[in-house]
Amino acid sequence: MAEGQDPPRQVAVVTGGGQGIGRSIALALAGDGFAIAVAARRAGPLEEVVAEIEARGAPAIAVVCDVTDPESVIALQQSVQHKMGSASVLINNAGIAESHKFVDHPDDLWQRMLEVNLTGTYRVSKVFVPGMIEQRWGRIVNIASTAAKVGARYLAAYTASKHGVLGLTRALAAELGPHNITVNAICPGYVDTPMTQASIENIIARTGRTREEALAFIHSTNPQGRLIHPEEVAQVARMLVGRAAGGISGQSINVDGGAVMF
């Protein structure tokens, strides 16, 4: 399909779409006319997002899926194909974050972080790319992190997994360009989501800091002294999957108030 033409079908898959950043992206893309499939392990939050989307008059389905389970990921693709048709947009957003100091870093934490954040992104991309190749149109957006670009204390596994996501983004952009598929990453700083709330609780529990002190630390990582709103990340995703972004691929866009400038 030539540059600038509309995609043949507008079906978007959002992993981790039941809450936080994934939920905001799902709602934003539904507003742009996409049929939405949200996928995660827990059905309850997914169904709430589907109800929100349907209340706005857009089609949506919830698919229970664990990105660490290859069969579950294949079933996700089959379910989307059966109910909505080939996905033209994939938002790899499912992720987990846990911290630990390195000297006695648990091996299972390392494995889990890589399995969800990096291998999950690989696995879900792998099942949806063939349909995009067939349509000669596709957009993949990987939700990485500023931790894909810089290191931080106590976050070895998370940082390694997100650097890997950025490497995968660039490799796929190079390989899938001839098929008219773009692959980009978004790198947020701390976003106001349940994941960041858990990080704040963790700081309080491990350091004895007050909630205000923990929040002040999180804010201090952003030159604007605040949390990023999930909607701000969603707006960048909207832009990247839009028709006008056909020439943007292999890029990583920071949404962090200017903390990281490369």
Q: What three-state secondary structure class fits 151?
A: coil
DSSP state of 256: S
Beta strands at 181-188 and 11-15: parallel, antiparallel or unpaired: unpaired
Residue 63 as a binder of ligand NDP (CB under 6 A): the answer is no
CA distance 91 to 206: 33
Residue 195 as a binder of ligand NDP (CB under 6 A): the answer is yes
CA 199 to chain centre: 18
Contacts with ligand NDP by CB under 6 A: the residue count is: 30
Give how far Cα 89 sits from Cα of 156, 229, 262, Å.
Answer: 30, 22, 26
Task: Return the residue matching tokens 């349509």.
Answer: 135
Q: At what angle do helices 120-135 and 70-83 cross, to 10 degrees?
A: 30
Shorter beta-carbon distance to ligand NDP: residue 151 or 194: 194
Backbone angle region of 55, left / alpha / beta, with phi > 0 → left and psi within -120 to 50 → alpha: alpha
Residue 16 as a binder of ligand NDP (CB under 6 A): the answer is yes
Q: Considering only residues 47, 66, 98, 231, which one is a binding residue for ligand NDP as defined by CB under 6 A?
A: 66
Q: Considering only residues 25, 36, 40, 50, which one is a binding residue for ligand NDP as defined by CB under 6 A?
A: 40
158 is catalytic: yes
Residue 164 as a binder of ligand NDP (CB under 6 A): the answer is no
**What are the percentages of helix, strand and coil residues in the chain, rounded to 5?**
50, 15, 35
Asked if residue 184 lies in contact with residue 252, where contact means CB atoms within 8 angstroms, the answer is yes
Residue 127 as a binder of ligand NDP (CB under 6 A): the answer is no
Residue 67 as a binder of ligand NDP (CB under 6 A): the answer is yes
Shorter beta-carbon distance to ligand NDP: residue 110 or 133: 110
Residue 118 as a binder of ligand NDP (CB under 6 A): the answer is no
Q: Considering only residues 61, 116, 168, 172, which one is a binding residue for ligand NDP as defined by CB under 6 A?
A: 116
Residue 68 as a binder of ligand NDP (CB under 6 A): the answer is yes
Shorter beta-carbon distance to ligand NDP: residue 88 or 119: 119
Residue positions annotated with a catalytic role? 158
Q: Which residues bind ligand NDP (CB under 6 A)?
A: 15-16, 18-22, 40-42, 45, 65-68, 93-97, 116, 143, 145, 188, 190-191, 193-196
